[in-house]
Amino acid sequence: MNTIPLTQEKIIGKHVFGNLYDINSEILNNKDFLHNIILEAVKVAKMTLVESKAWSFGEKKGGVSVIALVEESHIALHTWSEYNYATLDVYTCGEKSDPQAAFDYVVSQLKPKRYKMFYADRSSGFGLGDNS
């Protein structure tokens, strides 16, 4: 039987994500504005940008998607202008990066009337609830 050596080193995985409600639909269709918000969120969170891209989608349930690939993982924003709604996902495995700061910055710029935020610890290592 092969065993995995246990080390003191581990990946620090921090995942902040949520749903943003009742946002001005004009903001949610502005691809350049949203792209710039995500680029600034990368800086605010002390992440290192690898590449970013933004897309506009028309038709029913249209909106914008913005993805920033960072050395530490990613930031993803998806909007639905018809529903004045967006989802935001900030995941990082960087010990010095701050996904909460990125999430808070995006919320401050989109100004939803309400939002739900969630946090998941996605660090490596063995602990309670592991199936290892």
Model confidence pLDDT, tens digit, residues 17-58? 999 999 999 999 999 999 999 999 999 999 999 999 999 998
Residue with tokens 């490596």: 124
Does domain 22-121 fall under CATH 3.60.90.10? My reply is yes
SS3 28: helix
pTM: 0.84
Residues designated catalytic: 73, 78, 93
CA distance linking residue 105 with residue 35, whole number of Å: 13
